[in-house]
Structures are given as C-alpha cells and as structure tokens.
C-alpha cells in the first residue's frame, strides 16, 4: 500500500523520466540546417608523452579552394577508455569567455558507436581508426571536416573557440583547440 508521500515521490520520478527520455533519445538525433561553421585554425595545446609519442593537428589547404583538418597521432600504450571534455568559448567583449551551454563530457568509444556528431562516419572515412579499445599504434585522419548538420540546432551565431581535452582513467592524454565562426547558412 502506498502512502501520500511515496506517491509524490513516484510522480516526481515519472516527471523526471518524462523529461529526460526525449532528451536522451534525441541526443543522437541532432540535425540542423540553419548555420554553417567556418573554421579558422586548429592548434595542439599539449599531450602526455607517457601515452602519446606523436601528435599533430592542423587546418590546412589541400587544394586551391578547400581547407580541411589533418590529425596524426601515435599512441605508445593501449588505451582502454578515453573521455573527452568539449568546452566552448564564445568571443564576447574582445575576449573568449566560457560558453556553458555547449560544454560536455563523453566517452569517445560510446560516441563513435552511437555516431554522435557523425563521428563514426568521419573516423572511418577519413582515417584508419577501426574500433575500441584504442591499440598501441599510429592513427591518421586526413582532409576531414566535421559535418555540422550533425551538430545541435540553435547554436548562437558568433566566433567560438572549441577546446577538446582527452583523458584516460583521469590522466591527461592530449588537448587541441579549434577556432571557428558560426554563421547563418543564408549569409554564407
């Protein structure tokens, strides 16, 4: 037999589940066509030589009219789990300030399996990444640009700096930053 207090708790749990289920199920269904991301440059911020022998990340021209990212990395150890902290900084009042709505942490292998932000297709088409766990080996991704149609809708227009920090078992692996501008698709 349920008391009044327990029915309130159950109703509160139902409301929370009712709100969270659409969010979780929509997490993999990002789709947008209102903005375009114009990338400016990519910079390696650092890497842990205990796990990574070599790390290169750049945004280069690969022909007269097109630019794309190149990533080369050589792991010195097998990486069982890898988490990434994605932080966004928006250019406001002549400086980059933390833009909390876009900040998130996710497991790389889970994100690839669920094709979060189109990562699975991006990593298999542009590079030699095959599966998790990440083996002691060299990985290359050449001439790639993320598919912004797979990104969340309604990101405010403006200049951004996206910082990606990778860790394994709470130990720093590597970090790189991408400077870009979110523009209205009609204006590009």
Q: Are residues 175 and 86 in the same domain?
A: yes
CATH number for the domain harbouring residue 53: 2.70.220
Does the global pTM surpass 0.85?
no
Mean pLDDT of the chain: 84
> Where is mean pLDDT largest: 13-22, 80-89, 146-155?
80-89
Region 75-85: mean pLDDT is 95
Tens of pLDDT, residue by residue over 134-146, are 999 999 999 999 8
User: How many C-beta atoms lie closer than 10 Å to residue 90's C-beta?
Assistant: 19
Comparing CA positions, the residue from 98, 86, 96, 150 lying closest to residue 119 is: 150
Pull the structure tokens for residue 115. 């094709």
Q: Are residues 16 and 100 in the same domain?
A: no
Pull the structure tokens for residue 16. 């929370």
Q: Are residues 11 and 38 in the same domain?
A: no
Please, what is the end-to-end C-alpha distance for the chain in angstroms? 63
Name residues whose C-beta falls within 8 Å of residue 51's C-beta, 6 or more positions apart in sequence: 75, 76, 77, 79, 168, 171, 173
Cβ atoms of residues 68 and 59 within 8 Å: yes
Cβ atoms of residues 67 and 41 within 8 Å: no
pLDDT of 50 higher than 80: yes
Instruction: Report how many domains make up the chain.
Output: 2
Which of these ranges, 13-22, 53-62, 71-80, has the smallest mean pLDDT? 13-22
Q: Are residues 40 and 70 in the same domain?
A: yes
Name residues whose C-beta falls within 8 Å of residue 34's C-beta, 6 or more positions apart in sequence: 153, 154, 184, 185
Q: Are residues 15 and 87 in the same domain?
A: no
Cβ atoms of residues 176 and 165 within 8 Å: no
Q: Are residues 51 and 88 in the same domain?
A: yes
Pull the structure tokens for residue 182. 């979110």
Q: Are residues 23 and 105 in the same domain?
A: no
Q: Are residues 9 and 70 in the same domain?
A: no
Q: Are residues 11 and 47 in the same domain?
A: no
Beta bridge partners of 139: 73
Please give the pLDDT value at position 117: 84
Question: Which SS3 state, helix, strand or coil, does residue 188 take?
Answer: coil
Q: Please give the Cα distance from 78 to 173 (Å, whole number).
A: 12
Tens of pLDDT, residue by residue over 86-131, are 999 999 999 999 998 889 999 999 988 888 888 888 888 888 887 8
Query: Whole domain around residue 61: which residue ranges?
Result: 32-187
């Amino acid at each position: 037999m349920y008391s009044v207090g327990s029915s309130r708790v159950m109703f509160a749990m139902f409301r929370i589940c009712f709100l969270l289920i659409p969010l979780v199920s929509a997490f993999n269904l990002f789709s947008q066509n209102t903005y375009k991301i114009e990338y400016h440059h990519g910079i390696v911020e650092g890497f842990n030589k205990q796990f990574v022998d070599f790390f290169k990340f750049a945004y280069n021209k690969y022909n007269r009219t097109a630019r794309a990212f190149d990533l080369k990395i050589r792991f010195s150890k097998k990486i069982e789990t890898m988490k990434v902290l994605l932080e966004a900084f928006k250019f406001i009042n002549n400086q980059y300030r933390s833009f909390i709505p876009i900040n998130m942490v996710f497991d790389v292998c889970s994100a690839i399996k669920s094709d979060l932000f189109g990562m699975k297709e991006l990593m298999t088409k542009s590079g030699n990444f095959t599966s998790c766990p990440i083996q002691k080996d060299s990985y290359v991704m050449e001439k790639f640009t993320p598919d912004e149609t797979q990104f969340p809708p309604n990101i405010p227009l403006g200049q951004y700096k996206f910082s990606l920090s990778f860790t394994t078992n709470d130990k720093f692996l590597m970090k790189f930053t991408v400077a870009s501008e979110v523009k209205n698709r009609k204006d590009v």
